[in-house]
Amino acid sequence: PSAPLVAPLGSSVVLLCYVDELLLMEDLKVEWRRTDSEALVHLFLDGESRPEAQQQEYHDRAHFFTDQIQRGNFSLLLDNLRAEDEGRYTCRIPKGNFSLRLKSVRTEDKGVYMCLVFAGDLSANATVVLEQFGENGIIQVIPCQFNQIPPAQMFVLQSL
């Protein structure tokens, strides 16, 4: 939303994040991060929440609605708001993995490559860095990540 969410200290707030499609739980990764510091607020990976990965200050305070995840709802419930929670938050949902295939790789091919991925009506650019080389003429496969962030995923919290 364009306007900040305003909530009293000690209360709870829901930060909305959703996609309009059914997603497979296998290999699904959803991250909520502080935009200002990149601190990990909540991580959902391979079908379960991973509290051991999140920043300590969010333990037992940041939760998903686990019964809604398969329907594309990745909203975050943040309990017991503190003054330090004020800031911007981003929901990230990597959409898929793709590869860029190069033939006849030569030493002079070293550098940064761009891959353009289309998924339905969505598209994104991902930067790929070629670091390893094969023998001349050997095919190298370079991984390329496509990260699609759903709309309306950034929130600003302000304490009262």
**In the predicted model, is pLDDT for residue 159 greater than 60?**
no
pLDDT attached to residue 22 = 64
For residue 115, the cross-strand partners are 126
pLDDT tens-digit series, residues 107-146: 555 555 554 444 333 444 444 444 444 444 444 445 544 4
**In the predicted model, is pLDDT for residue 4 greater than 50?**
yes
pLDDT attached to residue 107 = 54
d(CA 23, CA 133): 35
pLDDT-derived band at 92, boundaries 50, 70, 90? confident
**In the predicted model, is pLDDT for residue 104 greater than 70?**
no
Average pLDDT over residues 9-22: 81
What token pair was written down for 77? 């419930």
pLDDT attached to residue 98 = 43
pLDDT tens-digit series, residues 35-84: 888 889 999 888 888 888 889 999 999 998 888 887 778 888 999 888 88
What is the domain partition of the chain in residue ranges? Answer: 5-94+148-159, 96-146
pLDDT attached to residue 108 = 57
Identify the architecture of domain 5-94+148-159 in CATH. Sandwich (2.60)
CA distances from 25 to 10, 63, 64, 71, 117 (A): 33, 17, 14, 10, 22
pLDDT attached to residue 37 = 83
Q: Report the candidate in 52, 58, 63 with the shortest Cα–Cα distance to residue 84.
A: 58
Cβ atoms of residues 76 and 15 within 8 Å: yes
**In the predicted model, is pLDDT for residue 11 greater than 80?**
yes
pLDDT attached to residue 134 = 47
d(CA 136, CA 128): 20
